Amino acid sequence: MGWMENRVVLITGAGSGMGKALLERFLAEGARVGVLEFSADKAAKLQAEFGDQIAVTQGNVASYADNQAAVAATVAAFGKLDTFIGNAGVFDYFQSVNDLDGNSISDAFDELFSVNVKGYLLGAKAASEELKKTHGSIIFTVSNAGFYPGGGGPIYTASKHAVIGLIKQLGQELAPEVRVNGVAPGGMKTELGGLNATGTGGQTLDSMPGLEEMIENMTPLKIAPKPADYCGPYVLLASAENAGPMTGVTINTDGGLGVVKLFPDGE
């Protein structure tokens, strides 16, 4: 057991990738976990794998009612809520403004922002009253795209910059009862999906050839982390004992993209 023993955490998008890694890490730390998962198949598999350690709600993060249902199911199962983690996301597959079909931009923007930004805000709203009771916390999954270009196309990058704004604004509005922070992982090989509006809805990041080599080559640490490697900062931020003074903060865990050399040695 660890810092999170007897704490209750609700995670969106925990059926695979970063979300499932977080679920497994928080269970290992002694927490009990609620889940809001869009895929009915993934939701059923989670329930079968983890049983009464978790409370699974199948639903859409872009629906306020579904977020409310996930909070209610988590509290009904475990009696309270200490941390809400907004993590569910979709990707634009690096489609640049030059590559995007102008007629599809509006639909693509709405599709991505409804999950990556609106889903976080709706989840925070649905969880806020329970979190105030426990003096709990909110943690949003950001991305290196929340700080730098090149981590996606303009739609994805704009969404992650918007999440940085949400962290700061909600950190102000929900203080002093609730802390609001973020973690900004770098790239990783997951089942992160694309957009129906651009014809990439059936794609997943783990099908991209050479992805891990690309990540290794672009970061000073020369590593391609797995989702589990990014979980530590979430546990830190969820722990009031260890992160009590921290709110409105985003921890970068991107392998050092902020210290990339502009020029090779000798130039």
Please identify which of the residues 93, 120, 156, 230 carries the catalytic annotation: 156
Residue 1 pLDDT greater than 60, yes or no:
no
Q: Is 156 a catalytic residue?
A: yes
Q: What is the pLDDT of residues 242-259, one digit of tens each?
A: 888 999 999 999 888 888
- Distance between CA 174 and CA 132 in Å, rounded? 8
Contact partners, residue 158, CB within 8 Å, separation at least 6:
none
- Distance between CA 29 and CA 228 in Å, rounded? 13
Residue 265 pLDDT greater than 90, yes or no:
no
- Contact (Cβ atoms closer than 8 angstroms) between residue 24 and residue 87: no
What are the sequence ranges of the domains in the chain?
8-259
Residue 46 pLDDT greater than 80, yes or no:
yes
- Distance between CA 142 and CA 164 in Å, rounded? 7
* pTM greater than 0.85: yes
Alpha-helical (H) ranges within 117-199 are 118-134, 154-174
- Token match 């970061």: residue? 219
Measured CA angle at 193 (ends 140, 249), to 5 deg: 15
Mean pLDDT of 129-156: 95
The answer to which of 119-133, 143-157, 164-178, 219-233 has the lowest mean pLDDT is 219-233
Q: Which two tokens stand for residue 50?
A: 């983890």
Residue 174 pLDDT greater than 60, yes or no:
yes
Mean pLDDT of 8-26: 96
Residue 112 pLDDT greater than 80, yes or no:
yes
The class of domain 8-259 in CATH terms is alpha beta
What does the pLDDT read at residue 215? 77
The answer to which of 78-87, 130-139, 181-190, 197-206 has the lowest mean pLDDT is 197-206
